[in-house]
Structure 1
């Protein structure tokens, strides 16, 4: 029976590594390795953006949240969809155009070239933020993988996490951005289909939708409404808190970099529609898994284990193996993007600028791949040692990345007077606010994620400091902003 589960997973892993090996031919140049030659189509961009940002929290953390909160968990999904919509409507088109004008291959390189000032502090803050929060983020994904593999195969969780870390790091090392994007596309399609199938299957297994709702009502009447029994200011606080989670997905390097690589800004609208459709189907499937799990496993100790328990107890071994492959797709579609973003930042923005300024493209790619391996090891250590909820680890890491980069990104695309000093001050403010928020304001953690105050404070600091300093190439920046707001066709 175990081999009937394992076989689909083995086949799936070989396919992923094969895609990475195939994509190696696109990585001979820096632009090819980092951005796939800026030739990524709307479908691949959409699915890879959605599932590099969604992460393993959907079938682990969010399923557990549905079990605990019922329909109130949908405020989270609304918040996330608002965040994705904001990214496409406000950021995508202009960033695609501007990154090409500036010939920027990496996130940090874009900011340095955009502000036209001393680049050292921007590079330092970017590198530290990406190293810190990416390691935590990837670690949360590997920990989620360990939970599932531990339950399904009764394997030591440390061993399962190490296996997941090796696989993710391996195909990211080979394939670069093209490999990551193609595998994300492949995985994303499986995720959409597989999550929907599992959700419908579990609802039917539990007796149908009406029976599930009735049984949940008998357990706790608050879990069939969107208010958890709260009213007035308590309800508004709950809704606001979950809606603001969407702020934490804006401007994160590992998924926003997709906008650099889409083949044309004319493809952005189509990509937006595909992204929201894929996310909506997957969200609903995950909701059905968690809600049916409330009936099937009413006394489970940790609701985040519903997904692997359901695979072991309810499904045919072959389908179970397929669904584990789906889960690995969610896990790896985020982890590979984060590893690539980390490696690119170090190779391009640290090694090339400060350690070996005359490095060849080949040397830079070797160093980039080396740093991908280092971050992969650090993330595995985080996964092995962490005991926090997958959902909230993911939220925290996202908040740190969004607070560091989102405010300065939006200003860079719309405000000609953004200066180097303003960008540095804003990035540092966002980073430090997230790091210190829980220590100084723990009573507000339920009302809003760290990203909200961090983004607000960062925006204020960017504006004030930029007004007090001067943009040395103001007219050039104005001309560029006029170009980037247009739709560039192929």
Structure 2
């Protein structure tokens, strides 16, 4: 208890210190939301990883593998493909387009700070409907996404400190809010680098030590049965892991990367499109190896624990507690906390940006001073955190359920729209709005309908993306792209190709 408390305290102090360090450098909404677009390749790449993989990587994925076996590994395969695709298909073009698209309200280059403002400027939407609808989707799904992190945080504190889950959620969210409140995007990005390193090292060390113990300590009585190991503790039939529904649903998770605002924000905040290729190598390399190690953690847990764990998503913390001395265990458990916090802070920041840039500034006070917008964003961070904490405290959903719900909503609601907006010259506002609403709504409806009526186990991402693409194709025919939109596309297309 003393060792864990000391290591957790040092970690908290380091995160808040970074927030204080960049506090005085945050003087405008651009600084708070995108860090003035000054991230180098290393910071952008590792920050994208830490803000993305969260507790899902250290708790959700190992837990799913531990429980159900090889069938859940398709999710990791799909995510690896999707993550690489987001860097190579979207990052460079989005970085250029968010800066170069003509401002739909004032003319001239836009310097779009949020995904919603980018969509408004890309499609020349003077009505504000596209911006408002996208901001609402962002807020809706981020409440569930942040809540998933808080559920993980509650479980971790409950295990380590024997602290009630509700108290743990309140303590944890308070720390995240504090340094996000102080430093905004730069604080979040710099802390993400530390958190990414901690997460990867923890995933490397724990399964290696566990495998050594299993192979060299006969007195422990661990029996290695690869058939049983691959089926998880539930003994899932390996034939089920190769079923079309399992493969399609798992691989479909990768599509989600095309529409996650907290990851796309790293693409928008990188120093220039020329820095994208190096950042992509760093980020994709980290992601692929980290997910492979997370799978190994789950399989190792099946062999190591003779009695099945009550909570499968605690397999990684349980291995740490069983294998490590208290001081090392404290550092490794802090890595799990890092995973939770690194995603929650990014999501809080994007959600607060939607309230400030796409709500207050766009529809209430367009002439607000830079510092007033910063303080409104800080207040929004607190508001979103309180709402997400309420969701986390109100139910018993697992981390995988909450993440899956939000991931499908973002992936289908924004993924097809963002991808086509970067590559389709003739795409217009009607297609973008229909694709966004159709995809996001289908993700919600399918999740509930399948759970209660159909029971197909098909991940909502699949039908939701199909609906989004059909809606874009149909409604795009009802309007047309303006000459200004086509000129913007040609200019961005030329600049993006020149940086490859």
Fold similarity call, TM over 0.5 = yes
Deviation of 1:189 after TM superposition, in Å, equals 1.0
CA–CA distance in 1 between the matches of 2:290 and 2:256? Answer: 19
1:415 aligns with 2:424: yes
Query: Which residue in the other structure is 1:479 paired with?
Result: 490
Aligned residues: 486
Contact kept, 8 Å, 1:55 with 1:331, in 2: the verdict is yes
Deviation of 1:454 after TM superposition, in Å, equals 1.2
CA–CA distance in 2 between the matches of 1:230 and 1:440? Answer: 26
Contact kept, 8 Å, 1:79 with 1:244, in 2: the verdict is yes
Match of 1:376 among 378, 385, 390: 385
Q: Which runs of 5+ in 1 are unaligned?
A: none
Query: Which residue in the other structure is 2:464 paired with?
Result: 454
1:341 aligns with 2:350: yes
Distance 1:263 1:208, change over 3 A: farther
**Superposed counterparts of 1:298-447, under 5 Å:** 298-442=307-451, 447=457
CA–CA distance in 2 between the matches of 1:471 and 1:213? Answer: 65
Match of 1:132 among 140, 143, 160: 140
Deviation of 1:172 after TM superposition, in Å, equals 0.7
Query: Which residue in the other structure is 1:81 paired with?
Result: 80
CA–CA distance in 2 between the matches of 1:218 and 1:397? Answer: 33
Taking only aligned residues, the RMSD between alpha carbons, in angstroms, comes to 2.4
Distance 1:115 1:200, change over 3 A: same
Query: Which residue in the other structure is 1:186 paired with?
Result: 194
Secondary structure at the aligned position of 1:155 is classed as coil
1:250 aligns with 2:264: no
Q: Which runs of 5+ in 2 are unaligned?
A: 102-110
CA–CA distance in 2 between the matches of 1:222 and 1:348? Answer: 48
CA–CA distance in 1 between the matches of 2:38 and 2:122? Answer: 23
Distance 1:186 1:451, change over 3 A: same
Contact kept, 8 Å, 2:90 with 2:258, in 1: the verdict is no
Worse overlay, 167-176 or 65-74 = 65-74
Secondary structure at the aligned position of 1:250 is classed as helix
Deviation of 1:228 after TM superposition, in Å, equals 3.4
Contact kept, 8 Å, 1:55 with 1:333, in 2: the verdict is yes
CA–CA distance in 1 between the matches of 2:48 and 2:127? Answer: 28
Query: Which residue in the other structure is 2:298 paired with?
Result: 290
Query: Which residue in the other structure is 1:46 paired with?
Result: 45
Deviation of 1:23 after TM superposition, in Å, equals 1.5
Given the two structures, how large is their TM-score scaled by the length of structure 1? 0.93
Contact kept, 8 Å, 2:40 with 2:271, in 1: the verdict is yes
Contact kept, 8 Å, 1:93 with 1:487, in 2: the verdict is no
Given the two structures, how large is their TM-score scaled by the length of structure 2? 0.92
Query: Which residue in the other structure is 2:6 paired with?
Result: 7
Deviation of 1:385 after TM superposition, in Å, equals 1.7
CA–CA distance in 1 between the matches of 2:265 and 2:148? Answer: 21
Deviation of 1:171 after TM superposition, in Å, equals 0.7
CA–CA distance in 1 between the matches of 2:456 and 2:170? Answer: 33
Distance 1:83 1:7, change over 3 A: same
Deviation of 1:335 after TM superposition, in Å, equals 0.5
1:161 aligns with 2:169: yes
Deviation of 1:128 after TM superposition, in Å, equals 1.6
CA–CA distance in 1 between the matches of 2:238 and 2:222? Answer: 16
**Superposed counterparts of 1:58-207, under 5 Å:** 58-102=57-101, 103-207=111-215
Secondary structure at the aligned position of 1:388 is classed as coil
Distance 1:218 1:270, change over 3 A: closer
CA–CA distance in 2 between the matches of 1:221 and 1:193? Answer: 24
**Per-residue CA distance 1:256-310 (angstroms, 9 max, x = gap):** 1111111121221211111122122322332232222112323222211222223
CA–CA distance in 2 between the matches of 1:465 and 1:212? Answer: 63
Distance 1:219 1:134, change over 3 A: same
Query: Which residue in the other structure is 2:106 paired with?
Result: none
Deviation of 1:222 after TM superposition, in Å, equals 4.1
Deviation of 1:12 after TM superposition, in Å, equals 0.8
CA–CA distance in 2 between the matches of 1:276 and 1:52? Answer: 14
